[in-house]
Amino acid sequence: NTTHPLSPHKMSKVNGDDLQNAVADMLATKDSRKFVQTVDLFIRLKNYQLSKAKRFSGAVRLPYPVKPNIRVCVLGDARDCDRAEKAGFDFKSEDDLKSLNKNKKLVKKLANQYDAFLASSTIIKKIPGLLGPGLSRAGKFPTVLAPSDDIQEKTNEIHCTIKFQLKKEVVLATAVGHVGLGQDQLVANITLAVNFLVSLLVKGWQNVGWVSVKSTMGKPHSVYP
């Protein structure tokens, strides 16, 4: 897995005007719903033989938060549970995790309660043994929380980080922001996300068929070609 710091302002192929217009249109209709809509990015690969291509995964931190708010739970040793409590975060001790007895329904319920998990460096290796594969299957395997890490800063990092993973689909999709952000903020997030994915592809832009963006309840907007 790779995490890249990339410049958010350099995008060679996506039409800047189309992107600005797409974002403006999404923001113009943002108040039509009673919830804050997510903005999703869709990229279709071309000339990419999934049967032969090397599977890739990568994570990149965007300039602005992907979701309006995020629920994080600390799976901690005694010290980190204490830190989490003082910082106002939910937490579970090793004994709390043991009490789930690897029950699939209970682990799934835990996974559904939160957007992400932080786990103490002393606990993280024990997670598969304590909980089974449930958090991994939900795409929520914990991020390691080192003793020197600030819990709030680590949460902010998760809040802004997106992941791309090539499995069996030729269309890759990820959330890249929400309609509570400003136009320039969304454009910066989308630009960085596209550049990052293209950097993972074997032939770069030659492997990109099309790129579109849409809000949860909105229509898709093409921004490339």
Instruction: Work out the mean pLDDT of the chain and round it to a whole number.
Output: 89
pTM of the model: 0.81
Query: What is the pLDDT, as a whole number, of residue 4?
Result: 45
Average pLDDT of the segment spanning 218-222: 91
Helix (H) / strand (E) element for 137: namely: helix 134-137
Measured CA to CA, the distance from residue 71 to residue 91 in angstroms comes to 11
DSSP count for the chain of H helices, then E strands? 8, 11
Average pLDDT of the segment spanning 172-193: 94
Chain centroid offset of residue 199 CA: 17
